[in-house]
Structure 1
Amino acid sequence: MSKEESMHLFLVGLVRLQLETITYFGQITGASPAIPGMFPNMFPMATSQLQQFNTLPVLPVQAMTQQATRHARRVYVGGLSPTANEQSVATFFSQVMATIGGNTAGPGDAVVNVYINHDKKFAFVEMRSVEEASNAMALDGIIFEGAPVKVRRPTDYNPSLAAALGPSQPNPNLNLGAVGLSPGSAGGLDGPDRIFVGGVPYYFTETQIRELLETFGPLRGFDLVKDRETGNSKGYAFCVYQDLAVTDIACAALNGIKMGDKTLTVRRANQNTNPMQPKPEQESILMHAQQQIALQKLMLQPALVATKVLCLTHAVSPDELKDDEDYEEILDDMRQECSKFGNLVNVVIPRPRPDGELCPGVGKVFLEYADVEGSAKARAGLNGRKFGGNQVVAVYYAENKFAEGDYEG
């Protein structure tokens, strides 16, 4: 509020106070004093002057409040489709806010105004209250007209001023799942710890990519970039981890990994060279993560046609297979356990060579059933189970390769 407006309001308030006081004592224009002994010229201001001040334009309190809070009630929405208009944006965000339980100003639409810049494909969405605008920050990455949009604070947002006007963070109890989002699903994708993930096979789903990335910990934000018209993946994504300390570990472990016919490029988004290497104290974390990635790679391969042969990984370790007695015991345990799912014809567990050198297939267990029905039941029952603390992955294996003794694939 300007100094002129402040002075204007002060004068108007003073004049009104005089009017109320004069009226109370009956001193307006020749009126008899309401109380004996009061001086008639106690308020010498002429009636015409009082009327002049009383008719000065005064901004309504509600309008002044709206102006003062506008910077904290506006939301920037970027990446809009060419077909978006003020009405469609207002309707969409009002409905979404109601769906997630983000409306705090009572019944009705949360959106009171929308301004769209069609050339630059962004909008300013004005909410009814500061708290509702903060709740809208949780909608970053929501799909609008077939594509994710960015939801940010506008550039004129003043955090220090906004702190006194209402909550500055979204309510943690919002039902984001009702609109296909999760807490922090895409928010927080700015800053130096944002990771670029390129070379992603086009057939990978968002869930599969997230599972691979979450080998290192939960994500604060994730965005798989898609073609606006087709909705298909463009083969790259961005993410930020909740624990920023794992950023470089994830980059080092994932960069260069082959996924199908693609090779992943994983680095900090603001860095055009090779990813930073983890610190020495992080090496053990990196080694464990790389083992988990190997497991995830098998899970993320395109689904194979069901066969009678099943391949289990992470069910046994090479060290367990060196001793003859231990090996026979493991073999017997596998036969008994895996026979529960169907007619088990054969069990093959490749062993290390006598000189300790690993041969193809060591660490895997191959199960051959009499029919596909048996292998399918085994896959459903064994995939994801834990053996010795490790989560087993069960995938179908080519019958011709198994028959030829080829256990490398």
Structure 2
Amino acid sequence: MLPTRNLLVHCRSVTGLFYSWNVPEHAPFCCWTVQSPRHAATSHDSTATRHARRVYVGGLPPSANEQSVAIYFNQVMAAIGGNTAGPGDAVLNVYINHDKKFAFVEMRSVEEASNAMALDGILFEGAPVKVRRPTDYNPSLAAALGPSQPSSNLNLAAVGLTPGSAGGLEGPDRIFVGGLPYYFTEAQVRELLESFGPLRGFDLVKDRETGNSKGYAFCVYQDLNVTDIACAALNGIKMGDKTLTVRRANQGSAQPRPEQENILLQAQQQVQLQKLVYQVGALPTKVVCLTQVVTADELKDDEEYEDIMEDMRLEAGKYGNLVKVVIPRPHPSGEPVSGVGKVFLEYADVDGSTKAKTAMHGRKFGGNPVVAVFYPENKFADEDYDAAA
């Protein structure tokens, strides 16, 4: 909770007052001000340093107000260890433009304003906001007033940000990922991209009003050497009824160097596994399909087949009320049989199937990672074992 103090909240026209901020005359701004002796600065000092103590916060949700913005930034600044001007809160004033959904947050010190720049992309009321310098910021003058970069000791992980990710979505190695199915969650997109390595920065672009994905994202890898590998492997991949467009955001895609070809091949194989996971089983069902568990040859022998069935019943029964296990096997005559090489587990409820899918997916079997996906119940009931969702 914000400590009790003398708070002043007022609205005013900005005619001629904030001309350097490039806002229209008479734009409706509201101001949230903390009046506290420990935050006070002399008029001369305040005026001379104000341009370096303000930060621009853009992309605010409609529900944002001056006090909620101030309280939030006070809390996150304290959480990351960004308060360097002594006890108390970092925020002095908040000027907010509700029509344009942005605010200017005035910090009590230049160093704290620089630390706040590390919060770019942080979620405010569920929406990622942009944290930038205002247009009247003068780097040359600011350099003499205090640090111009965030401290390297900030605990960004405390507020859900990746250390080193501030500004991580800028520069020549930023990747554009377009053509994403709208139902893909942020976690699913991340998992797909992280097939190539950990991310330095990531942003799945969402509709501000609905919160739904707009079908594209941006990312930057910690290891910049995999940028071209990821672009080459992912570009053109089909995901459901969509085709991915993946390239450097600021230029045309480049081809991987010869020494990267082996890494590219491994990454493409991993992408194919992820593709299978996301094309089949986007929504939970009571049936789980396992692949890369058994081979056709293992299923031909009656005794070995029964052993596999029993092992599956015992293992799958750990996760819920197991109704049926189906393992299609080759026909003695050689006639084609649908679903050979797959294992189907039917549970009494989605809770059991979800636990089984989570537990089994990715586990190694015979040196291969098991792929577990939900399977359409109607297809399973019709004994259609080659269906794709």
Structure 1, residues 26-45: CA drift from partner, whole Å, max 9, x if none? Answer: xxxxxxxxxxxxxxxxxxxx
Q: Which of 362, 365, 370 is the equivalent residue of 1:387?
A: 365
Q: Which amino acid aligns with 1:295?
A: L
Does the 8 Å contact 1:77/1:122 carry over to 2? yes
Q: Which of 146, 167, 173 is the equivalent residue of 1:193?
A: 173
Q: Give, in angstroms, the shift of residue 103 of structure 1.
A: 2.1
For 2:221 and 2:371, locate their aligned partners in 1 and report how far apart those are by CA, in whole Å. Answer: 25
Q: CA 1:177–1:313 in structure 2 vs 1: closer, same or farther (change >3 Å)?
A: farther
Q: Which amino acid aligns with 1:407?
A: D
For 2:166 and 2:277, locate their aligned partners in 1 and report how far apart those are by CA, in whole Å. Answer: 24
Q: Which of 294, 305, 308 is the equivalent residue of 2:285?
A: 305
Q: Which amino acid aligns with 1:174?
A: N
Partner of 1:162: 143
1:107-186 equivalences in 2 (<5 Å) = 107-116=87-96, 121-144=101-124, 147-154=127-134, 156-158=137-139, 162=143, 165-166=146-147, 168-174=149-155, 176-178=157-159, 180-184=160-164
**What's the C-alpha RMSD, in Å, of the aligned pairs?**
4.1
Q: Which of 312, 319, 333 is the equivalent residue of 1:338?
A: 312
Q: CA 1:76–1:330 in structure 2 vs 1: closer, same or farther (change >3 Å)?
A: farther
Partner of 1:202: 182
Structure 1, residues 151-184: CA drift from partner, whole Å, max 9, x if none? Answer: 1234535289638824722454425444x44435
Q: Give, in angstroms, the shift of residue 80 of structure 1.
A: 3.7
Structure 1, residues 261-303: CA drift from partner, whole Å, max 9, x if none? Answer: 22222112223x5x32222221111111111112222333412
Q: Which of 242, 255, 258 is the equivalent residue of 1:262?
A: 242
- Structure 2 runs not aligned, ≥5 long: 1-39
1:87-106 equivalences in 2 (<5 Å) = 87-106=67-86
**Structure with greater helix share of residues:** 1
For 1:253 and 1:330, locate their aligned partners in 2 and report how far apart those are by CA, in whole Å. Answer: 39
Partner of 1:235: 215
Aligned residues: 335
For 2:156 and 2:43, locate their aligned partners in 1 and report how far apart those are by CA, in whole Å. Answer: 32
Does the 8 Å contact 1:186/1:223 carry over to 2? no
For 2:303 and 2:106, locate their aligned partners in 1 and report how far apart those are by CA, in whole Å. Answer: 69
Q: CA 1:208–1:380 in structure 2 vs 1: closer, same or farther (change >3 Å)?
A: closer
1:208-247 equivalences in 2 (<5 Å) = 208-247=188-227
Does the 8 Å contact 1:72/1:162 carry over to 2? no
Q: Which of 380, 386, 389 is the equivalent residue of 1:407?
A: 386
Q: CA 1:144–1:167 in structure 2 vs 1: closer, same or farther (change >3 Å)?
A: same
Q: Which amino acid aligns with 2:343?
A: F
For 2:140 and 2:92, locate their aligned partners in 1 and report how far apart those are by CA, in whole Å. Answer: 22
Q: Which amino acid aligns with 1:97?
A: M
SS at match of 1:395: strand
Does the 8 Å contact 2:59/2:128 carry over to 1? yes
Q: Which amino acid aligns with 1:393?
A: V
Does the 8 Å contact 1:162/1:168 carry over to 2? no
Does the 8 Å contact 1:350/1:365 carry over to 2? no
Does the 8 Å contact 2:162/2:200 carry over to 1? no
Q: CA 1:200–1:325 in structure 2 vs 1: closer, same or farther (change >3 Å)?
A: closer
Structure 1, residues 99-155: CA drift from partner, whole Å, max 9, x if none? Answer: 444323233221123445667654432212233223212211123355321112345
Partner of 2:265: 287
- Structure 1 runs not aligned, ≥5 long: 1-59
Percent of counterpart pairs with the same letter? 65
For 2:173 and 2:154, locate their aligned partners in 1 and report how far apart those are by CA, in whole Å. Answer: 26
Q: CA 1:90–1:246 in structure 2 vs 1: closer, same or farther (change >3 Å)?
A: same
Partner of 1:366: 343
Partner of 1:75: 55
For 1:288 and 1:314, locate their aligned partners in 2 and report how far apart those are by CA, in whole Å. Answer: 17
For 1:93 and 1:370, locate their aligned partners in 2 and report how far apart those are by CA, in whole Å. Answer: 47
Q: CA 1:161–1:371 in structure 2 vs 1: closer, same or farther (change >3 Å)?
A: closer
Q: Give, in angstroms, the shift of residue 98 of structure 1.
A: 2.9
Q: Give, in angstroms, the shift of residue 376 of structure 1.
A: 6.0
Q: Which amino acid aligns with 1:169?
A: P
Structure showing greater radius of gyration is: 1
Q: TM-score, normalised by structure 2?
A: 0.69
For 1:185 and 1:164, locate their aligned partners in 2 and report how far apart those are by CA, in whole Å. Answer: 25
Does the 8 Å contact 2:296/2:329 carry over to 1? no
